[in-house]
Amino acid sequence: MSNTTQAMYTETPFVRTKRRYQGLAKYIFMSMTLLMILPLILIVGYLFVKAAPVLSLDFIFTNPIRGMRDGGIWAALLGTIYLVVISLVTSAPIGVLAAVYLNEYAKDNWFTRIINLAVVNLAGVPSIVHALFGLGAFVLFAGMGRSIIAASLTLGIMTLPVIIASTKEALGAVPIAFREACWNVGATRWQTIRSIVLPNSISGILTGIILQVSRAAGETAPIMFTGAVFFKAIPEGDLLAYGIFDQCMALSMHLFTISTQVPNVPTALPYGTAVVLLGTVLLVNAVAIVLRVYLRSRKKW
């Protein structure tokens, strides 16, 4: 290689400076990412270390005893599952269908803009306000009393805006060319939505549902006003121990109760409850994420 050719491929000071800045930016961004992950690892690790003395299958599948100073969390765990599942069953279909209408059918006018603004604002309403709404609308006005169904509907109303917003974003991400191709071959709008738009946006829709599950499982104020109780003994291991018009225990309220209202509670007990609550949410999220990854892998674009 001649000296002239070699000189053409030698890095100039300007290129070396750009490489240094690029490497610096890379390590800064990596450091920011690690600073986000590190606190989570420390918190989860601390919870597991403090909860280790009580974590076992007996802790999960037995009821609290001795004034909730001993025993397990079966009644609270089952109540949380009931609340999350029922709220999901009621809010997910409504949220998805509302988002389909707003994104695919509704015209862009002042009325739909007001609806979209209302959805965004509703997502920022504090949970205690939703609790008072649930108390007035479901417990008193609808005559449901303090029950699982009233608490679940309150949680559903609270998480509905997240599902609507995430579903709209997922639907909007589907290229308009997909719709136009269907319309050009004579498909109706609903056939296009059912066969093309929804299948290609399902992974984004599941993202909103994942957020709904996480928030519903961890809320205390809405269920405290509408259906959760301090203590309720149920048959251990019975998955149908609660009726929808019964009151129930819940992990979030149980954690609050034994941490603040019950004296002389063993130190590991609240941490064990927190770990089970965290594990329940992570398990549901993991299932949804696996399903989302599978569905995303089948996309053709």
Give residue 300's pLDDT: 58
Give residue 83's pLDDT: 93
Q: 26: buried, middle or exposed (CB in 10 Å: 19+, 13-18, 0-12)?
A: exposed
pLDDT tens, position by position, 250-271: 999 999 899 888 888 888 999 9
pLDDT of 6 > 80? The answer is no
Q: Mean pLDDT, to the nearest integer, of 169-175?
A: 88
pLDDT tens, position by position, 43-54: 989 999 999 998
Give residue 174's pLDDT: 87
According to DSSP, the residues that pair with 228 across neighbouring strands are 248
The CATH number of 80-295 is 1.10.3720.10
pLDDT tens, position by position, 63-102: 998 888 888 899 999 999 999 999 999 999 999 999 999 9
Pair 255, 217: CB distance under 8 Å = no
pLDDT tens, position by position, 209-227: 887 887 888 888 899 999 9
pLDDT of 156 > 80? The answer is yes
Give residue 273's pLDDT: 92
Question: Coil, strand or helix: which one is 248?
Answer: strand
Q: What is the pTM of this model?
A: 0.84
Q: How far is CA 240 from CA 35, 76, 78, 244, in A?
A: 44, 14, 9, 10
Residue 218 CA from chain centroid, whole number: 9
Q: What is the dihedral of CA 267, 270, 274, 275, to 10 degrees?
A: 40
Give residue 101's pLDDT: 92
Q: How confident is the model at residue 287 (pLDDT cuts 50, 70, 90)?
A: confident
Q: How confident is the model at residue 124 (pLDDT cuts 50, 70, 90)?
A: confident
Pair 83, 91: CB distance under 8 Å = no
Give residue 184's pLDDT: 87
